[in-house]
Amino acid sequence: MREAQARRVRLRRILALVTLASTIVLGAIGWWTHNEVEQSMRATRGAALKSVLDSQAQSLRVWIDDQKLSVGRLARDPQLRAQVSTATRDAGAAATTYCTSAQARDLTAQLAEALAGAGTVAFNVILPSGRIVASNFTEYCGLRYRPAAFTRDIAPAFEGETVFVPPHHDAANLERTPQALPLDRPLIWIRTPIRNDADDVIAALGVGYFADEQFSAMLATARAGETDEVYTFDREGVMLSKSRFENALWERTALPSGASEVGRLVLRSPNTEESARTRLVEAALASRSEKDDTSGMLLDPYAGYLATPVVGGWRRLTQDDMFIAIEMSADEAYAPLEALDTVFAVVFAALIAAVCVALFSWFTAVLIRAEVEKDRMGPYWLGERIGEGGVGNVYHARHDLLKRPSAVKLLKPTRATDEMTARFRREAKLASQLTHPNMIEIFDYGVGIDGTLFYAMELLEGDTVGDLVLREGPMPVARVVHILRQVCAGLAEAHGKGLVHRDISMTNIMACFYGGEYDFVKILDFGLVKSVAGDQSQTVTRSVRILGTPQYMAPERLHDPADVDVRADVYSVGAVAFFLLSGRRMFETEDTLALTSRVINEVPPRLSETAAQRIPPELDELVAACLEKKRESRPAGILAVKEVLDRIAERYSWSQSDAKAAWDAIHQKPTD
């Protein structure tokens, strides 16, 4: 009995030791797992914040560069330079008198007209003395900038530099303000030099924008959660863009209700001693002495400018003058950690239950991700299908971060042979080399998570010329000449780079509303584009097959699909012109074999004899020349075609008013 009792005691001790050892091991594993997952979550959150920050910083840089280019072009206008030369000669010390002169009114009127509709709020012309001699606000004309403000914000323009001046209240920079000034909101200024005929800088042109409108609106597009915010601040820690939490600021700070925080609010942590600037601002400002330290992430919670714990990051935007930052409440950023603590407790209490929960959670997460990602292709979210071809489908899409509408073309899985995959890749690569406005722009190329090839391109608003003719009938001569000139201009770039489109047809030419213009032409579908330059002239097609639209295909392509040069596109342009002007195909037959025989052997009818409208003789001759069976008899290149079209356009002009009327006639019609 004693031996049995001793065995039970030993077993209890062994069980206790095993339990203790298991508890220690499980505790160590749980602590290690918790720590690793927490660090992984922090790293993931940091990467997401940095991605948004980098994207917004790039957007701001692009916007700033665009404004610099626009203002710089205006400053180089000869008439403006001549008027400013007069201002520098006549104004002198009597700038106030000059401001009321007819010359000053003419200068102001010219600037107002040039900047109309550009989103500008204010403009001024400043002499080397710092005096304003022209402004769209008469209250500013004749005032002088303080020396410190002139040296910081305006002097670089007199050294020949176009500069971006971060948001500030402009009235504080003027030596005297005898009356209330109309602009009490902070402005962004673009300053650029104005030169005389001797190329000497004689004045500085400034164009101003409200900081709490377009500038702040760009930052607001990055908000995805409940508390995340992107904002900018200057080297003094003063906020330069609108806060997402204006109401809270009015309650927690000395800002009067309704007042803008832009240019007024120093980013301090309200609950810290002496209200020191926030940790993020201090880190950013400290980096000004480091050339390479241009950004940073703070993933340990700290007190933000509303005193709530936040995490965030910053990046230097323009030298030492302005920074862009992103912040999110720590609770929202690390909300998943609360669930992790619960899981850790469950793991420590019951290993089997924890493993089951973990596996179930993982499996559920995989299913949710698969459900979410089914409508995603790389960085693009796919919408409705807007087009279908033999090789690929085209979808309406939107970029995940830029929110830019796009069209995404996917290679059909059923057509993903080695040959078609190579052709699809080649189509995206060669098309992306073309930058002419009349060529559709390729944004991106990639492979989806399921292995599907895709490329993204600009989303266009308009109709193919084929649809227009089928719906409305033949086009007038002036409109056809207008469209074909643009087709030739786009093809000229391609031919100059040794590329032949090989599929110019009524379905691959689109008349768009683009960049504010009607009947702006875009050439589509580079699936058959061929390089005839150097040693890249080989074809992707491994067998001799006819690919393309036979109605618009040059005869030599039907003889030998690989034997083409730029004159094949010249033929196609002529065939398109025939269809647009007559509303009929050159050879009316539904049988492909018969059509091929007629294209090779029959002389097409003259356009002037087929079209119901009168065709100018010069245009009739041009179309006939383009449709010659022997390519040696056609115009030598697409520019030769364009030159003839340019001459015809002098007599048959197609204005934007004409184009808009044609557009409205189609798009305002009720659909059946």
Active site residues: 503
How many Å is the Cα radius of gyration of the chain?
34
Residue 339, exposed/middle/buried by CB under 10 A (0-12, 13-18, 19+)?
A: exposed
What Cα–Cα distance (Å) separates residue 338 from each residue in 44, 298, 332? 16, 20, 11
Euclidean distance between CA atoms 152 and 322, whole angstroms: 13
At 667, give phi and psi (nearest 5°).
-85, -10
Secondary structure of 422-479 in HEC code, one letter for each residue: HHHHHHHHHHHCCCCCCECCEEEEEECCCCCEEEEEECCCEEEHHHHHHHHCCCCHHH
Euclidean distance between CA atoms 475 and 109, whole angstroms: 42
Region class of 286: left (phi > 0), else alpha (psi between -120 and 50), else beta:
alpha
Euclidean distance between CA atoms 265 and 254, whole angstroms: 9
Which residues does residue 189 pair with via DSSP β-bridges, in sequence order?
Answer: 165, 208
Euclidean distance between CA atoms 49 and 56, whole angstroms: 11
- Whether residue 368 contacts residue 427, with contact meaning beta carbons closer than 8 Å, is answered with no
Sign of CA dihedral 402, 407, 410, 411: negative
Q: Which amino acid, residue 411?
A: L
Euclidean distance between CA atoms 303 and 378, whole angstroms: 36
Sign of CA dihedral 54, 60, 61, 63: positive
Both tokens assigned to 225: 């959660």
Euclidean distance between CA atoms 277 and 265, whole angstroms: 11
Both tokens assigned to 37: 């997952």
Which residues does residue 132 pair with via DSSP β-bridges, in sequence order?
Answer: 126
Q: Which of 640, 662, 664, 609 is nearest to 478 (CA)?
A: 662
Residue 135 DSSP SS3: strand
Q: Which of 556, 554, 563 is nearest to 532 (CA)?
A: 563
Residue 44, exposed/middle/buried by CB under 10 A (0-12, 13-18, 19+)?
A: exposed
Element (H, E) at 126: strand 122-126
Euclidean distance between CA atoms 520 and 482, whole angstroms: 9
Q: Which of 308, 338, 665, 287 is nearest to 472 (CA)?
A: 665
Both tokens assigned to 15: 């069980």
Listed in sequence order, the residues at least 6 apart from 425 whose beta carbon sits closer than 8 Å to its beta carbon are: 445, 453
- Whether residue 510 contacts residue 465, with contact meaning beta carbons closer than 8 Å, is answered with yes
Please count the other Cβ atoms lying within 10 Å of the Cβ belonging to residue 290: 9
DSSP 494-543: HHHTTEE-----TTSEEEEEETTEEEEEEE---TT-EE-SGGG---S-SS
Q: Which amino acid, residue 116?
A: A
